[in-house]
């Protein structure tokens, strides 16, 4: 009987740490997003956006497989590298801040010119890769504080499938809808 109570208490403690890690990552990401939006107002990115949209209209831009792999897998890859670093617990929130900043900057730059292009270019990335980043960063932070030993294979597989689906959508569907 005593052992069962201990197991329930351990699960509540793990849940509390998981929630704390997720809130930390969410707040840092949101702060980066707010600052990215503010920074976009200060920088004139419209020239680059117009150039890109003109090239898309002329069909002179074609998505490259290697570039798409880099675009989709670089942030999760950085998080996995941080998993092995001794300063990973400090660097992971910084990485999530940067991701929030850059994503918000890009979305707001494109949305100022073409909301449709912003939704098509950043929609699959936001819907599919951001949950992966939040899952990985939370799991890695839990590992850093000793709450969890390794990433669960089911979590890794689900994350990998989501990233591959995002890549397929970005390569096959988005170019057709942008024109």
Q: Is the pLDDT of residue 115 over 90?
A: no
pTM: 0.80
Q: State the pLDDT at residue 8.
A: 37
Q: What is the pLDDT of residue 148?
A: 65
pLDDT in the model for residue 7? 37
Say if residue 56 is exposed, middle or buried (CB neighbours under 10 Å; 0-12, 13-18, 19+): middle
- pLDDT at residue number 10: 43
Overall size of the chain counted in residues: 179
pLDDT at 61 over 70: no
CB neighbourhood size of 62 (10 A): 8
| Helix, strand, coil distribution of the chain in percent, nearest 5 | 85, 0, 15
């Amino acid at each position: 009987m005593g052992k069962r109570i201990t197991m329930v208490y351990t699960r509540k403690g793990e849940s509390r740490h998981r929630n704390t890690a997720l809130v930390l990552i969410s707040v840092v990401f949101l702060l980066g997003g707010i600052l990215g939006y503010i920074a976009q107002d200060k920088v004139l990115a419209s020239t680059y956006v117009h150039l890109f949209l003109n090239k898309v209209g002329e069909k002179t831009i074609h998505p490259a497989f290697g570039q798409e792999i880099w675009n989709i897998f670089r942030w999760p890859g950085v998080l996995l590298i941080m998993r092995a670093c001794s300063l990973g617990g400090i660097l992971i929130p910084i990485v999530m801040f940067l991701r929030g900043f850059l994503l918000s900057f890009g979305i707001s730059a494109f949305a100022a010119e073409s909301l449709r292009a912003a939704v098509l270019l950043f929609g699959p990335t936001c819907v599919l890769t951001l949950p992966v980043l939040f899952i990985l960063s939370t799991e890695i932070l839990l590992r850093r504080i000793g709450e969890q030993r390794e990433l669960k294979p089911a979590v890794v597989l689900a994350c990998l499938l989501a990233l591959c689906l995002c890549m397929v959508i970005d390569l096959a569907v988005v170019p057709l809808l942008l024109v």
